Structure 1
Amino acid sequence: MHRNSVHNMILNESDSDDELEIVAVLKMEEESRSRRGSMQRRLFIRRNTLEGHQRLFLDYFAESPTYPPNVFRRRFRMNRSLFFRIHSTLKAHEPYFVQKRNGARVLGLSSYQKMTAALRMLAYGVAADFMDEYWLQFFTDEYLRSPNENDIVRLLTIGQSRGFPGMLGSIDCMHWKWKNCPTAWKGMYSGHINEPTIILEAVASYDLWIWHAFFGLPGSHNDINVLERSSVFTKLAEGRTPSVNYSINGNDYTMGYYLADGIYPQWSTFVKTIPSPQGNKRKHFATAQESARKDVERAFGVLQARFAIVRGPARSWERETLKNIMKACIILHNMIVEDERDVNEAEDYDYEQIDENPHVSVSHDHTTELMEFIRRHHRIRDRETHSQLQSDLVEHLWQLHSQS
């Protein structure tokens, strides 16, 4: 009140511009002080991280935890043994997962809390920033790779038991909606569903293991466009894959194949169904092919069921971040498949005693001759071999059906 009276007195008794300027400065300072006084201080929440770690440990990780194993698996998407294996690897190689003290010398989050947060980001679909990169760094070479010699033998054995000698899996594409796609890119990334999407091309086997993952092309592409840019047959064309030799209906073949739907081209490495089949043989083949081809679609469904972050629309603005998230989920998916493979397999296949197992050998030397590369490239796309292979499989499946 006193300050206001001083201001009024100066205004009434002075005609000087300097004095008017002084009054203006005084008013500005007073308003600034009043604003600072009315502002609330930032609320500080004292989070007891040690108590949170203790509750988490007793609930899930103690020798006699509060929650049983089935609850652990439902909430963490994996068994405790696999969780501990990943935990020990990350803690040993990544400093982020080591518990540290902050500037006030207070202990921060424990490694269990950090890994739990990372898994729940992927499993429940909340925002993920950096967590996905750690999975890629340590587990890509083992859990996102092409089949080795032993894998090939196992896949061929299972394929033969299902009536498809030479089958290595099934191939298909999945679209992931991109909610935060930049406006300038929406036309390029919008396809048949009229929303921006990013495509994942994958090869999956009977046990839902994903052997090949090619992610990142815009949703305006179809499966053939994705295939032309994919690396799924790169090693095969370069001669750096295990050789596969098998016979069907008296004809010899030297390359494995994937089951595919109708849009894929008529290559020797694909076996497609027969549209509108006529006759019992062709109808039986179409039913068997469409049934076995569901492996890759089942893999997509299980992947999205386990990790809600790839089931709902992608929220990140960066394509590289989305690639890391997708790869991290696939790696974790394969780790869970491996951990539970013995439990989930309905049949016990004796790989050592099956006489029809092909001899598998692999060359680790890079192909230097251009003509040899072109020859392999043409063999992959051979339409005649595709037609012959399909006809032989029709007869082979019908013979098995007749004998059963």
Structure 2
Amino acid sequence: MYTRVNDLVSIRLIAMAWRYLSKSMFGSSGGESEEEDLQAAAIIASMGRKRCWGGSVFGHKIYKRDRAAAERLLMLKYFDEESIFDDDQFRRRYRMRKPLFLRIVDELTTANSFFKQRRNAAGAKGFSPIHKCTAAMRVLMYGQAADAVDDVLMMGESTVLKCVKVFVKTVISVYQEEYLRPPRQHEIEEMMTSNAARGFPGKTGSIDCMHWEWANCPSGWHGVYKGHKGKPTMILEAIASEDLRIWHAFFGLPGSHNDINVLHRSPVFDDLANGNAPEVEFTVNGNIYSMGYYLADGIYPNWATLVKSISAPVSKKHNVYARRQESCRKDVERTFGVLRAKWKILHSPARLWNPRDLNSIVRACVILHKIIVDERGKDVAQLHNSEWPGAANPPINQNRNVPAIAQLIDAYSVIKSKETSASLRNDLVEHIWELYGTSSGPFARMHGH
């Protein structure tokens, strides 16, 4: 009976559309009312157009969410002058201070009209920019499913997912030029000065990889994305400094790769090979070197730009070096820990289906992490006790001309030189032993040994 009624309704609507079409083409009057003409016009206008996912569908239940009440409650909790929660609670729950969050909202709203508040066809106000950005941040910060945001912010699942995807893409488009770039000359000099005081002159960061589990990886792709973790994952390669800043992020390779495969495919040394990297020169144990290096773990190859530990130290000299190298290399491990603790979506299995969306989420989280770290660097005294402590100059070498293939081969042969790698590590062993191993070193004198 129900199916028959639906068929009759469909036939009547098609007949209305046909009468309206006849009237408009031949001028004949079918006697239908103005309301029927409008309905028929809407039917004809929608013919041949694919219906979007969700939306208004005949027979579906309509949830009347009180958006205005949710907006008032959100403002009362965090954004009014006399809000319920203070600035310290805002900082813990939004991962940043309120002025920084409001500045990001304003810049995203200026860059993308999606975040502007509009009225719908019925004249009712839509979600405000703060409301949309809060929904996206809730998913990123707590790793919640999109449906879990509905009961607090009165926003449907599909709308939350759209807010997340548009939010991360807009963050990338607005901030990637400043926060997804290699370090500038003065920043490299600051890092080298700081690392020289730790016993590693010439060090410009630590490199490592992190896996992010992909829960909704298609079954046909499991053989590619499943590696030693036992589950489908995607890999993030990053270079981080002592202050938790991320200077290089390369994400998207399947979890079946190891760190060596990722290194061979990443653009981490492209600027150095192309001659676009800033000049670096330092002295260790009386020898001069012209390339900076990263601290790495044992799986990485013996290259001139990578300094590894000694897996089985025998002498005291090697033992001291191994402990110092492994201690300083933890900078990137600490950064991964803070990144995943701050943005819980990277700690939980990814629920989205498209690898491009996952790539955008990771890049946006890296950008937001670096924005927060840079903001805290301006005012270290106001850091929260439970959190990690943490441009005016133009980019270096605007000329991006790619050299000839022979020059690239020569450059990479210098980067991958095993002789330079062995010589550099031996010099660092002697240098660190002079600082930390002998009784006459500055570290020993400082501690009264």
TM-score, scaled to structure 2: 0.76
Amino acid at match of 1:206: E
Which residue among 330, 335, 358 is the counterpart of 1:322? 358
Q: CA distance change for structure 1 residues 321 and 84 in 2, over 3 Å: closer, same or farther?
A: same
**In the alignment, which residue of structure 2 is the partner of 1:391?**
426
Does the Cα contact within 8 Å between 1:239 and 1:366 map onto a contact in 2? no
**How many equivalent residue pairs?**
360
The separation in 2 between residues aligned to 1:314 and 1:278, in whole angstroms, is: 43
**In the alignment, which residue of structure 1 is the partner of 2:132?**
114
5+ long unaligned stretches in structure 2: 9-57, 147-160, 383-394, 444-449
- Between 1:243-252 and 1:68-77, the stretch displaced more is 68-77
* Residues 1:175 and 2:214 are matched in the alignment: no
The separation in 1 between residues aligned to 2:260 and 2:171, in whole angstroms, is: 30
The separation in 1 between residues aligned to 2:185 and 2:419, in whole angstroms, is: 28
Does the Cα contact within 8 Å between 1:173 and 1:200 map onto a contact in 2? yes
Q: State the shift of 1:208 in Å.
A: 1.1
**In the alignment, which residue of structure 1 is the partner of 2:247?**
211
The separation in 1 between residues aligned to 2:6 and 2:419, in whole angstroms, is: 86
- Between 1:119-128 and 1:99-108, the stretch displaced more is 119-128
Q: State the shift of 1:32 in Å.
A: 3.6
Does the Cα contact within 8 Å between 2:184 and 2:396 map onto a contact in 1? no
Cα deviation code 1:96-136 (max 9, x no counterpart): 11110000011111111011011111111134442321111
The separation in 1 between residues aligned to 2:409 and 2:71, in whole angstroms, is: 59
Does the Cα contact within 8 Å between 1:208 and 1:337 map onto a contact in 2? yes
* Residues 1:292 and 2:328 are matched in the alignment: yes
Cα deviation code 1:197-220 (max 9, x no counterpart): 111111111111111111111111
Q: State the shift of 1:51 in Å.
A: 2.7
The separation in 1 between residues aligned to 2:281 and 2:176, in whole angstroms, is: 29
**In the alignment, which residue of structure 2 is the partner of 1:193?**
229
Does the Cα contact within 8 Å between 1:136 and 1:328 map onto a contact in 2? yes
Pairs within 5 Å for 1:76-115: 76-115=94-133
Q: CA distance change for structure 1 residues 247 and 88 in 2, over 3 Å: closer, same or farther?
A: same
Counterpart of 1:267 in 2: which secondary structure? coil
- By relative contact order (CA 8 Å, sep 6+), the higher-ranking structure is 1
Pairs within 5 Å for 1:160-309: 160-309=196-345
Pairs within 5 Å for 1:121-136: 121-125=139-143, 126-127=145-146, 128-129=161-162, 130=165, 131-136=167-172
Pairs within 5 Å for 1:346-361: none
**In the alignment, which residue of structure 2 is the partner of 1:382?**
417
**In the alignment, which residue of structure 2 is the partner of 1:62?**
80
Q: CA distance change for structure 1 residues 361 and 330 in 2, over 3 Å: closer, same or farther?
A: closer
The separation in 2 between residues aligned to 1:30 and 1:340, in whole angstroms, is: 63
The Cα RMSD (Å) is 2.3
Which residue among 183, 186, 191 is the counterpart of 1:147? 183
The separation in 2 between residues aligned to 1:31 and 1:385, in whole angstroms, is: 79
Which residue among 173, 180, 185 is the counterpart of 1:137? 173
Q: State the shift of 1:278 in Å.
A: 1.7
The separation in 2 between residues aligned to 1:45 and 1:187, in whole angstroms, is: 41
* Residues 1:335 and 2:371 are matched in the alignment: yes
**In the alignment, which residue of structure 2 is the partner of 1:9?**
none
Q: CA distance change for structure 1 residues 31 and 290 in 2, over 3 Å: closer, same or farther?
A: closer
Cα deviation code 1:61-114 (max 9, x no counterpart): 223322112211111111112101101101112101111000001111111101
TM-score, scaled to structure 1: 0.84
Q: State the shift of 1:43 in Å.
A: 4.2
Does the Cα contact within 8 Å between 2:239 and 2:248 map onto a contact in 1? yes
Q: State the shift of 1:257 in Å.
A: 0.4
The separation in 1 between residues aligned to 2:67 and 2:75, in whole angstroms, is: 12
Q: CA distance change for structure 1 residues 290 and 224 in 2, over 3 Å: closer, same or farther?
A: same
Larger Rg: 1
The separation in 1 between residues aligned to 2:289 and 2:347, in whole angstroms, is: 39
Amino acid at match of 2:290: T
* Residues 1:373 and 2:405 are matched in the alignment: no
Does the Cα contact within 8 Å between 1:205 and 1:295 map onto a contact in 2? yes
The separation in 1 between residues aligned to 2:321 and 2:99, in whole angstroms, is: 42
Amino acid at match of 2:364: A
5+ long unaligned stretches in structure 1: 1-28, 347-359
Does the Cα contact within 8 Å between 2:111 and 2:170 map onto a contact in 1? no
The separation in 1 between residues aligned to 2:204 and 2:233, in whole angstroms, is: 28
